[in-house]
Chains A and B, each alone.
Chain A
């Protein structure tokens, strides 16, 4: 791949700040924190890019969490995410302004957008990175990309093309501190109002829960499918959240925002209690950052026990009612 002679013309770290209904996705804050860190190493600035409708109020929020400059594209065509409108808008901005790095959250919409944009911009994209660094001698962005269910990380770079694009897995990076004194510039950019081919005709969302921030996560695997209500009850009584393994989410037993694992969410609670999961690599990678893991599985040979601090070999359905009744009497 021939090095583009204009590589040095690309400057600045951009963070695409995904929002919905006028509120930033959690990952937007995470990106701003990382963008600040990267821009310091590169002696450059952080630009937060916000696309939506009636979103100019978010500029101040972006600045307080780390943006030096905010670009706002505000238009009815951006009221709901569509690939076409968002790729056209963000793509045009990136082509005009030439950032050296463009970060997006690896949410469904973020990945949908990034995948298209990377081809449009003729550049490299690394997916759902869990590590993001600047290489000391080259100043290149290096991203750790998990593969094979999360157990193997590939350190990837985009040496010759710009912008260096990456989607970052939500819930991995810390949320930076708000600085109400921080100053920055805001620019409202024009948006082309062309005819869109796709449109969203129906949308059904329930207020999602963010299990990545919970202190207590109680997970139900296939072995606990028949006692899902009891698992939920236990989670509620502890002030924790319920998580499920992929098969249960596939069946629609719980919404996807509760799915724990490499294709779901990574959780980092103080304690994760896992009922009836066998210990597949895809799932286990989602709980690796839990401080304490307690597992219950009636199969003594189940792999999950190797990933636990404390494991119980017993029937999930007999243990759950006991836990619920005994925990109920204890205050946190």
Chain B
């Protein structure tokens, strides 16, 4: 699970050329919510526990508690200054190390991508570190015994992939409707639930493979794409007149 700033509210500071998230409200990355909802549905059907795992600073905590309120059984936050500045390589490594530490698991589920960097690279990376099969862009999972069938969105349609558990699945945004937190559980999640926090020492990660140090890519600079010039002309009149003007502009555009 990742906590991200609301996309529309992030600005690029023109002088420092760094991201200004200060005015942006945070939220659980939307596809992660779809992943959690799918996990909860699978739990309802097959039993088992749903554990939330997140790598981030302490302010992630209330969002993990929200996930618990939705129905997850446990939540672990991987939080350490040493994790900061990570690109997708150390991020997937850190999370995979935590999965190994948790021990037995059947499914690792992730949102297909995060709405900030939108790389979608962490889920396949985790699967590679764990040496397990992966299915990405999944809209549905059915389990029979120790085999999963995942419906995967591909160009022009879908495919169904059969794979043995344990499996990593990245879940498509919008494939289900994430449930609202249960009111009473929410109070318990906020006040009583004991959230686990693991530092890099507790996790036992290789210090050269985490955070900024473990990153292979660097960001040179950030550019705000200039808004393309648009005429912003209003077409007015009766609906009939508007329709004729629109058609005129279409023809004009096509002959340009």
Contact = CB atoms under 8 A, between A and B. Distances in A.
B232 A109 contact: no
Given A108-B136, A125-B121, A201 B161 contact: yes
B82 interface: no
Contacts of B118: 127-128, 146-147, 262-263
Contact-residue size bin, chain B (C-beta under 8 Å from the other chain): 35 or more
Interface string B228-256: 10111111000110111111011111101
B115 interface: yes
B157 interface: yes
Interface residues of A, number: 103
A200 B155 contact: no
Contacts of B215: 1, 124
B144 interface: no
B149 interface: yes
B156 A306 contact: no
Contact of A159 (B122, B218, B222, B228): B218
A199 B129 CA distance: 21
A72 interface: no
B232 A306 contact: yes
A156 interface: yes
A216 B254 contact: yes
A19 to B, nearest CB: 12
Interface centre among B7, B163, B214, B227 (most CB of A within 10 A): B7
A157 to B, nearest CB: 6
Interface in B72-119: 87-89, 92-93, 113, 115-119
B8 interface: yes
Interface of A: 1, 20, 25, 80, 82-84, 87, 107-109, 111-116, 118-120, 122-128, 142, 144-161, 197-208, 215-216, 238, 246-247, 249-250, 255-257, 262-263, 270-271, 273, 280-282, 285, 288-289, 291-294, 296, 305-315, 318-319, 322-323, 326-327, 330, 332
Given A107-B155, A122-B216, A216-B254, 18 more contacts: A112-B134, A118-B89, A119-B124, A126-B217, A127-B119, A149-B7, A156-B218, A198-B163, A200-B161, A202-B159, A203-B157, A203-B159, A205-B159, A263-B113, A309-B231, A312-B246, A315-B239, A327-B250
By Cβ-Cβ distance, the 7 closest A-B pairs, closest first, are A115-B124, A124-B216, A250-B174, A208-B156, A127-B119, A322-B243, A292-B253
